[in-house]
Each structure stands twice: as structure tokens, then as C-alpha cells.
Structure 1
Amino acid sequence: MAHFSLRPYVAASLLLAGFQGAQAQDYLVNSLSKNQSANSKDSFVFTDVINIENTPVKNQGSSGTCWSYSANSFLESEMIRLGKQPVEISQIYTARNAYIEKGKNYVRMHGAITLGDGGALHDVINMFRQYGAIPQSLYTGLNYGTANNKFAEMQEMAKGVLEAAVKNPNGQLSPNWIKAYTAIIDTYLGTVPQNFEWKGKKYTPQTFAKEVVGINPDDYVEISSFKDHPYYSQFVLMVPDNWSLDLVYNVKMNDLTDIIDNALKNGYTVGWAGDVSEKGFSWKNGVAYVPEKEFAAMTPQEKEEIFKGPKAEMQITEDLRQAEFDNYNTTDDHGMHIVGLSKDQNGKEYYIIKNSWGATNDYKGYLYMTKAFVKYKSTAILLNKGGIPKDLAKKMNIKQ
């Protein structure tokens, strides 16, 4: 089948730069903004079924940090679910720590692993466990005179140090390469405060994570769905941004939406990672679906009206999902946060998705994504294991 995507740029850039590299994000947002129909919002009537409380929409700027923004937004909703006062967690503190660990892996792997801004949802959980957390107001990452994230220069500087270390010109690595690399990251993002005051009390990043955020990293699991691995077991998700080679649980395609539905109905939000470089995805219009007809086969009028009201969708199968991934037509180019469930005027269900591109679209930073799109284009979801249906948790041998 023909693929509805902006693939020529994505394949060359997003796979290398990660979820939303600095240049890749600018290109992708601009391209998706053009992918729209006039007055689309007037053609959809959404009625919320579930809308779980979440913190305000953020803007990741020109940085490949959607994974950190989306998964930290997810943790902030977890704080609300647990009855805590939510705090905006520093997304760039999380990213900074991931960059340090990624640099170590890059040198250990002789440069044969992904580098750059990109990451995975589980990176936020891993960095929270290892490094703790800091309020965003105390670590903004804006240490170089910009109003928003702009990481391209930093990444190029850091890459140069790592590549020099991999070349090993002395014949034996000194302990100073990691100091030099860390110094570049901290020069651009800011030195990490080892102690800080928050609401009249002193904390370290570790004590702040434990006492204020108060989540248990062991309560969170990442799940995907691919036919080439045994179902209900774990496997290494083979995407470039899984630089830490973490394991994810594998379930059947329809299980993905069953798990999300169960989580939402029980008050849990869900982190989402997947491919948004599709003709059926429009950030401007705030709608994502899978058109029934191939875009190339549409008439000019059909193309013009692609987002003008609800449309029929393609039937998604596990074979189709697997083929899209194997052919690089599904890539892990973005991360977002599922916060609810809605229905259009025809009764079709859509997930309410919180993005990190600012409140710049028709729905002020949110969008509506069909279940077919989720089945087709998800690479992974992240959630509290308490949100998984009990029968599926048992099949995966997950203790709730």
C-alpha cells in the first residue's frame, strides 16, 4: 500500500535525530500545519467521555525532547491521581541526565548507537530512578540566552567530544572525556543544583523525587505490539531511540487500545510514542485518523476535505501494522500524553492527546486521535501497571 507520510525527510532525519530533533521538529510542525482543511474544527463535534486532570500544555521548542515533556506530563498527572499537588517537573533536567548516560553508552559502543536529542518514554522513568527530579522553575535548561529550547549547537558540540573519545587518539581513554562531555552539556543547560529550596524546605533531587513527586518507578511498564516476537513476553524494542536497549512487553494489536481504555476508565493516563508524519495526522486541525483511501488515489476535492468532518477509516490488521514498521513507514518520531476519551458526532471514539508544541492549534495544544491510528502507528505506550486489565497483566506475568 502507499504510505501517507512525509517520509523522505523523516527517514533521513528523524531516525537519526530522535523523536523530534531540533531541525526535524521545525520541519515537521511546519509541514503538518499545512496538512489541513479550512474550518475543520467546525466540522467535528467532540463530546468528552473521560477527561483526566492534567497540567498545562508546554512547548518543547527546537529540541528533541518530546519524550521528556510527554512522560513528565504523565508523571504530573500521576501526582494528581495520587492526591498530590502537581509540580511541573523539569523536563530538561531529565533530558540532561539522559544525555549523560547516552554519551557513556555511545563511547562504550564505539559510536555504534544512536546519539542526539531523541529518547524513549522509559528514559524518564529510568532517569527519575537514578537522578531524581527538580522543579522546572529551578532548572529550565535556558542557560544560553534563548526564550525556548534550542539544542542543535549543543548537540553538535557534544557529539564532537564523543567522537574524539571513540577515536581514542591516545590509545587508552583518559577519565577526562566524560568530564569534558558533561561540561558542554552543563554549559548550555546549566549546572545541576545539588541542594535547593522548595516551598520553604530543602531538598536534593533524590529527596524531592521521593517526598514531593512520590511515585515508585517500579510501578510503570512500557508496552508495544509486534508479530515478530512472542506475545505477552518482553523484547528489546528495535527503534533507534531505544539507546538504553530497554525491554518492553509485547501484546496483540487490539490489546493496546484495550489497555488504554481500561487505564482511562480507572483514572490512569497513558504515555504514547509513535509516528505522526502521516497524511491523516494534522496538528493544526487537531485530528489524527487513518483515511480509508490511499492519499495518492484521492481526488483533489477529497484531499482538500481530508479533515473536514469524520471520515471512514482503513481496516487495520496486525500484518499491516508489522509491515509498516518493517518498511520504516512507522517510526518513533514523537511522544505525547493520552489524557482522555471523546466521541465525535457519529459516536466514533477518539483519544484526547496532550502535545508539547504549545497551545498553537485549533484545540489549544490537544488533539483527537482515533483508535485505528493508535493501533496502526503506535510504537509504545507507558502506564502504571495498575491500569492494565487484570487478565492481560496475568498473561504478561505483571504483579499489580
Structure 2
Amino acid sequence: MYKFQSKSLFIALAFLLGMTTISAQDGLVNSLKVNASAKSVESFKFTDVINLANTSIKNQGSSGTCWSYSTNSYLESEMIRLGKQPVELSQVFSARNAYVEKGKNYVRMHGAVTLGDGGELHDVTNMFRKYGAVPQSVYSGLNYGTTKNKFAEMASLTEALLKAVVKNPNGELTPNWEKAYAAVIDSYLGEVPQNFDYKGKNYTPQTFAKEVVGINPDEYIEFASYSTEPYYAKTMMMVPDNWSFDLVYNVKMNDMTTIIDNALKNGYTVAWATDVSEKSFSWKNGVAYIPTKKFEDMTTEEKENMFNGPKQELEVTEEMRQKAFDNYQTTDDHAMHIVGLAKDQTGKEYYIVKNSWGATNDYKGYLYVSKNFVKYKTTSFMVNKSGIPADISKKIGV
């Protein structure tokens, strides 16, 4: 999940860094989002309808790890829902293990699969199932003097190494390439502890996941919506960062908000992946919606006032949604955590969304996203299966 708002800037940065790919969801992307209004926070009057418990705002820094930050935040909220004391889970632990698995896939696929540090929501639950979990205090990933993630150099080196492996200079691969690849990652992020102490007890990552976190990764269901595929059946998630080729349940566009609403009303938060390149997504103002006009068709005054209070929205259709996906207007950009529901002063509903770009916007790390934006721009979302409406559960056979 990654896309710079300016495609030309993406290309320029890729050239300067000597990389063929820029890794996912870099926290610095928010500096490119200039659609800000000085009067926005005064013009919107939001009232909470549902606001579910969640842990503190984090900052993914200069790394493509929003999928890990958002889904680990989601699992932390699941701990709260289950009556457990939440632990800040190591987001980089999930990412590190996904990078190892992604590298293996890359070589098996002869390099014909996405690399970089982008990922999907299911990568966290998949890594949890296979590798367990550790607290952030035990494995921060800050192994060379930085105070925030900074992954570009590591990504450049690991990509170069894997490309050399794929060229197969010996005519036959040795098992040593996997050790070399993991060693590069660990030199930047730190070696994963095999055992560690937490609150006076010794754990392995697997025992910590079972005894302290205590969630079952098989209880979490991932959804997407493609009008080109059969509804209520599993289908391939058709985005480049689905490097593991996971299948998701395909539902109708309006089902997405129906599922999210039902989950929230029953105390379940939602992990959410989306496109944030729209001009009507403003991190600074903490608001996202779908205006009735395209940005290029707006007057200067309309552009300047995009976030000066509630606006009428375009009615989104399944055809519009699929077209935007097919022509790359909707891409696999970013992942966040839906933690509640609010209304503006006109009564329109918005989801309360927790981000991982620090507390740097008008709402201290949160934003308000309209339901129309979610219908139009969602690429996938994950929810506990108990939060799915009964009729939809029946349709998908869960």
C-alpha cells in the first residue's frame, strides 16, 4: 500500500534513491498533502456516536509499515474488548517477519512479484499465526541510532540482494541466500529475541502471543468489493502488495459500510485499507469525503473552501468504484484503524479513524472519514467474524 500524491515526485524520488520501488505508506507522505484550510476545525462540529477503546497514537516514521501499525493497533483494541490489559505490540516485529516471507516468495516467483515494505492487513494476522508476537518495548526495530523508523536504505539493499539471487549466478540456489537476506534485515532492525522477560515472566514470541495477547487469528475475516467478481465468494485481492496471494470475501459496495456499522455497534473496531490520494482527503484538516465535483472542475474559491465545513457529496455507485479501481485512480495506498462513528452538525455520519502519522493534525492523530469515501476508496478491511451481520455471515458461509 503506497502511493505518493504526485506521481512525478514518486518517479523523481525513486531515481534519486536508486530504487525501483519506494516502500509502502511512508509517514512522510503526509507532508505532500497540502489541501488544508485554516478554518476547518472551527467549521466542522463533530459529535461522537460510538467511540471504542484504542491505544495511543503511533508514528510509523519513514517506513512502509502502515499495514502493520494499523492492524496491530486493531489487535490491541481487540485485547481491550476481550477484557485484557492492552500491550503495545511490536509493529516492526510483524513487518520484519513479513519481509522475510516476502523475500522467499520473491525468489520463488523469479522476481515477478511486488517487493518493498508494503503489505496488507492479513500480513499481521498471518505473521501472528506463524511467528507469534512481542511487545514494542522488546523489539522496537530502532537498531542504528534513529528515534523513528527509516527504512529506505535497508529496502534498497534487500532489493539488490534478492535481484542478485534471482539471477542465479551459481546456476543453482544455495540455502545461504536466505541467511544473507535475513542478516541484512536484522542488521537494520535488530535480531528477534528468542526469549524475553515481560512483567516478571519469561516468554517466547509464540507463548506471549498465546498467553498475553490471547487472540485467535482465525477469527478475523478480510473483505473487498469488486463488481467484476462473484459476490459472497472468496476471490483474489487484486492489489500489488498482496504478495502472499491471500483470498478475501467479495461483498457488494454497500455491504462494506453495513458490516463496519454492525461491527462498531457491537463493540468491534475495524482495520481498514484505502486510497488517500484524493484531493478531498486532508490529513491536516482530519477530514475525508467525496465532493460532487472533480477537483479540476472546481473554481478557485471552491478549492480553497473544500474543508470549510460540511459539503454535499457525490452519490457513489458500484460502477464508479470499479472504474476508479481499474484505471488506477484507486490504488492500494494506506491502512488505518476505524475506531468509532461520529456525526457532523448536519447529521451526516463519519467514521472516526486512527492513523499512524503521529499526532500532527487538527485532531491529534485521528480523522473523520465519510461513509461515501469508504464506499468509494476502500481496498480492503478486516473485522472479527462475530462483528459481521448474520445475513452476510450466512451468505459467505462463516
TM exceeding 0.5 = yes
The range that moved more, 176-185 or 8-17, is 8-17
Kindly indicate whether the alpha-carbon contact (under 8 Å) linking 1:11 and 1:328 is maintained by their aligned counterparts in 2. Answer: no
Per the TM alignment, residue 358 of structure 1 is displaced from its structure 2 partner at its CA by 0.2
For 1:330-353, what per-residue CA distance to the aligned partner results, in whole angstroms no more than 9, with x for missing partners?
001100000000000000000000
Per the TM alignment, residue 19 of structure 1 is displaced from its structure 2 partner at its CA by 3.5
Q: Distance in 1 between matches of 2:381 and 2:6?
A: 23
Q: Distance in 1 between matches of 2:233 and 2:314?
A: 29
Change (3 A) 1:365 1:321: same
Determine the structure 1 residue equivalent to 2:17.
Answer: none
Secondary structure at the aligned position of 1:218 is classed as helix
Alignment RMSD (CA, Å): 1.4
Per the TM alignment, residue 16 of structure 1 is displaced from its structure 2 partner at its CA by 4.4
Q: Could you list the runs of 5+ residues in structure 2 that have no partner in the other structure?
A: 15-19
Determine the structure 1 residue equivalent to 2:7.
Answer: 8
For 1:71-101, what per-residue CA distance to the aligned partner results, in whole angstroms no more than 9, with x for missing partners?
0000000000000000000000000000000
Kindly indicate whether the alpha-carbon contact (under 8 Å) linking 2:336 and 2:355 is maintained by their aligned counterparts in 1. Answer: yes
Change (3 A) 1:19 1:376: farther
Q: Distance in 1 between matches of 2:309 and 2:100?
A: 46
Per the TM alignment, residue 17 of structure 1 is displaced from its structure 2 partner at its CA by 3.5
For 1:118-145, what per-residue CA distance to the aligned partner results, in whole angstroms no more than 9, with x for missing partners?
0000000000000000000010000011
For 1:186-212, what per-residue CA distance to the aligned partner results, in whole angstroms no more than 9, with x for missing partners?
000001110001000110000000000
The range that moved more, 68-77 or 289-298, is 289-298
Secondary structure at the aligned position of 1:222 is classed as strand
Secondary structure at the aligned position of 2:49 is classed as strand
Q: Distance in 1 between matches of 2:150 and 2:324?
A: 32
Determine the structure 1 residue equivalent to 2:378.
Answer: 378
Per the TM alignment, residue 9 of structure 1 is displaced from its structure 2 partner at its CA by 4.5
The range that moved more, 83-92 or 11-20, is 11-20
Change (3 A) 1:7 1:231: farther
Kindly indicate whether the alpha-carbon contact (under 8 Å) linking 1:18 and 1:241 is maintained by their aligned counterparts in 2. Answer: no
Change (3 A) 1:160 1:11: closer
Displacement over 6 Å in runs of 4+: none
**Alignment TM-score, normalising by the size of structure 1:** 0.95
Q: Distance in 1 between matches of 2:367 and 2:24?
A: 18
For 1:336-392, what per-residue CA distance to the aligned partner results, in whole angstroms no more than 9, with x for missing partners?
000000000000000000000000000000000000000000000011010000000
Per the TM alignment, residue 6 of structure 1 is displaced from its structure 2 partner at its CA by 3.0
Determine the structure 1 residue equivalent to 2:135.
Answer: 135
Secondary structure at the aligned position of 1:264 is classed as helix
Aligned 1:142-157 pairs, distance under 5 A? 142-157=142-157
Q: Distance in 2 between matches of 1:210 and 1:151?
A: 30
Secondary structure at the aligned position of 1:137 is classed as coil
Aligned 1:1-400 pairs, distance under 5 A? 6=5, 8-9=7-8, 16-20=21-25, 22=26, 25-26=27-28, 28-32=29-33, 34-398=34-398
Per the TM alignment, residue 8 of structure 1 is displaced from its structure 2 partner at its CA by 2.4
For residue 32 of structure 2, what is the amino acid of its counterpart?
A: S
**Alignment TM-score, normalising by the size of structure 2:** 0.96
Kindly indicate whether the alpha-carbon contact (under 8 Å) linking 1:354 and 1:367 is maintained by their aligned counterparts in 2. Answer: yes
Secondary structure at the aligned position of 1:138 is classed as coil
Q: Distance in 2 between matches of 1:9 and 1:396?
A: 41
Change (3 A) 1:391 1:279: same
For residue 253 of structure 2, what is the amino acid of its counterpart?
A: M
Matched residues, number: 389
For residue 38 of structure 1, what is the amino acid of its counterpart?
A: A
Identical amino acids, percent of aligned pairs: 68
Per the TM alignment, residue 7 of structure 1 is displaced from its structure 2 partner at its CA by 5.3
